[in-house]
């Protein structure tokens, strides 16, 4: 049974600075020469890019519902065999959601450190910390860490307010040269923050001497039995769009394609690149096409290649932003409308309010695939769905999945290892 120092980084709520603190901690240990593996709870494509930059290693998702307990155990055990430290960043507040981050930490025996944004409080910090520490006595509560602290005097007030039963792990200041920029879907991706490494270094410097920066206790990770995957995509060449417009991809999804026997290549619509030679199937992930709609509309070489691929009846799968690229037009938040590929009938418009958020599952001929949805845009199309997802906590209808010829598209971001056969059918152009 592999063992490794491990720590779960939770928070009192969203927006407390979990990613900043987790990334700073990963960078601090990495520059000490340790091999650090970071995981992110729940569905997230943005925070993991920053955590990967900080740690120097790929960042996988953990979630008891979407990923499943068995796959979570496998991912943690594999990391424990190669790493000197495992960090797991939570989602929302520590006890938010069903299942919550606390549920996962409890299931895998992870000690929990909680980040609290203290910029607008003093002694109340102690009350919040005590409540989090005592809410579930079974949780291995490691301590609390204060973020966005105004001064050393402020820090002393916060520490003095803690009951003796709750460990003080230190603090970092609330300076703008440490904070990570945000926008409508969350943080910016790592490649969009020009001074990210400098910010990570400053954040690592700030917490270097804190108790949080000491190695946490080791956790044991048992390895569930695993069976080899069937070579359902043997010999298939799959081209994946990959650039700033199409970057919302679970690393486990791409690994799955390779494990199933596919050869995976990438191309960039933003660079107006053609499809790789001898492409059998295309995958257009989600991302930010609305931020790059003008460039996508101008780039005819990529557009012509994808249209020719679709005209030849070869499989094409598009998720969320990838689906918007396939439509006739896309209207951004400023009201400007740009033509898209026109391979699916319909139009999309970016709204000011969140249109959909949450875990969903979709059922087809190959069984259930789990995933999530998160978007601000709305699509109007005459296409009738071939399948409709359901929400994780109810039978309420979720995102539709559309098919036109060999094109399959949906807002749903699937976690493909939850049903490899489902995705193999899509990339073969078979019935789903």
120 lies in the same domain as 209:
yes
* Domain count of the fold of the chain: 2
Which pLDDT score is estimated for 46? 86
181 lies in the same domain as 143:
yes
Q: Does residue 150 sit within a domain?
A: yes
Rounding to the nearest 10 degrees, give the CA dihedral for residues 339, 345, 350, 354: -160
| CATH number of the domain to which 17 belongs | 3.40.50.300
The Cα–Cα gap between 417 and 258 comes to 12
Contact 286, 261 (CB under 8 A): no
- For the chain, the residue count is 432
Percent of the chain whose pLDDT exceeds 90: 88
407 exposure class (CB count in 10 Å sphere: 0-12, 13-18, 19+) = buried
Give the pLDDT band of residue 5 (cuts 50, 70, 90).
very high
Q: Does residue 231 sit within a domain?
A: no
Contact 110, 144 (CB under 8 A): no
| CATH number of the domain to which 338 belongs | 3.40.50.880
Residue 363 has pLDDT above 80, yes or no: yes
Q: Calculate the average pLDDT of the chain.
A: 94
The Cα–Cα gap between 109 and 69 comes to 13
Rounding to the nearest 10 degrees, give the CA dihedral for residues 211, 215, 220, 223: 120
256 lies in the same domain as 152:
no
CA proximity to 113, closest of 145, 139, 148: 145
Residue 294 has pLDDT above 80, yes or no: yes
161 lies in the same domain as 308:
no
Tokens (6 digits) for 424: 């193999």
The Cα–Cα gap between 296 and 294 comes to 5
Choose one of 161, 191, 220: the last residue of a domain.
220
Q: For residue 77, give Cα distances in angstroms to 2, 222, 311, 406.
A: 6, 6, 45, 38
Q: What is the mean pLDDT of residues 236-254?
A: 97
pTM: 0.93
Q: Which of 320, 324, 359, 361 is catalytic?
A: 320
Percent of the chain whose pLDDT exceeds 70: 97
Give yes or no: 320 in active site.
Answer: yes
215 lies in the same domain as 241:
no
Q: Does residue 229 sit within a domain?
A: no
The Cα–Cα gap between 56 and 27 comes to 9
Residue 392 has pLDDT above 60, yes or no: yes
211 lies in the same domain as 253:
no
Peptide bond into 99 cis (omega under 30): yes
Q: Which domain holds residue 155?
A: 3-220
pLDDT in tens, 172-199: 998 877 777 654 445 566 566 667 889 9
174 lies in the same domain as 269:
no
194 lies in the same domain as 134:
yes
**Beta pairing class for 281-284 and 337-339:** unpaired
pLDDT in tens, 302-346: 999 999 999 999 999 999 999 999 999 999 888 999 999 999 999
């Amino acid at each position: 049974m592999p063992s490794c120092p491990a720590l779960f980084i939770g928070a009192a709520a969203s927006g407390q600075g979990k990613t900043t603190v987790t990334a700073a901690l990963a960078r601090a240990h990495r520059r000490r020469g340790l091999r650090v593996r970071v995981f992110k709870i729940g569905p997230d494509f943005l925070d993991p890019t920053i955590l990967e930059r900080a740690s120097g290693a790929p960042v996988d998702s953990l979630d008891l519902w979407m990923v499943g307990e068995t796959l979570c155990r496998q991912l943690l055990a594999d990391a424990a065999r190669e790493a000197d430290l495992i960090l797991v960043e939570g989602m929302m507040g520590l006890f938010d959601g069903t299942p919550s981050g606390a549920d996962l930490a409890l299931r895998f025996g992870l000690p929990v450190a909680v980040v609290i944004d203290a910029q607008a409080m003093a002694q109340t910090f102690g009350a919040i910390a005590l409540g989090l520490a005592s809410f579930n006595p079974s949780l291995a509560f490691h301590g609390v860490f204060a973020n966005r602290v105004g001064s050393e005097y402020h820090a002393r007030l916060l520490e003095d307010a803690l009951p003796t039963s709750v460990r003080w792990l230190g603090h970092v200041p609330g300076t703008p040269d440490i904070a990570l920029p945000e926008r409508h879907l969350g943080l910016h991706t790592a490649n969009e923050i020009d001074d990210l490494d400098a910010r990570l270094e400053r954040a690592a410097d700030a917490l270097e001497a804190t108790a949080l920066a000491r190695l946490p206790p080791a956790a044991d990770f048992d390895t569930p039995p695993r069976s080899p995957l069937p070579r359902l995509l043997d010999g298939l060449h799959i081209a994946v769009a990959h650039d700033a417009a199409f970057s919302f991809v679970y690393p486990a999804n791409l690994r799955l394609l390779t494990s199933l026997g596919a050869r995976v290549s990438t191309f960039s619509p933003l660079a107006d690149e053609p499809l790789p030679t001898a492409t059998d199937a295309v995958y257009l992930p989600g991302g930010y096409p609305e931020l790059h709609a003008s460039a996508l509309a101008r780039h005819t070489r990529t557009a012509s290649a994808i249209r020719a691929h679709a005209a030849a009846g070869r499989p094409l799968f598009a998720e969320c932003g990838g689906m918007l690229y396939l439509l006739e037009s896309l209207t951004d938040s400023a009201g400007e409308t740009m033509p898209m590929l026109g391979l699916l009938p319909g139009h999309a418009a970016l709204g000011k309010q969140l249109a959909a958020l949450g875990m969903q599952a979709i059922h087809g001929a190959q069984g259930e695939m789990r995933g999530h949805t998160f978007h601000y845009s709305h699509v109007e199309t005459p296409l009738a769905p071939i399948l409709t997802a359901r929400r994780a906590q109810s039978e309420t209808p979720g995102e539709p999945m559309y098919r036109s010829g060999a094109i399959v598209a949906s807002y749903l971001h699937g976690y493909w290892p939850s049903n490899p056969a489902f995705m193999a059918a899509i990339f073969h152009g078979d019935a789903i």
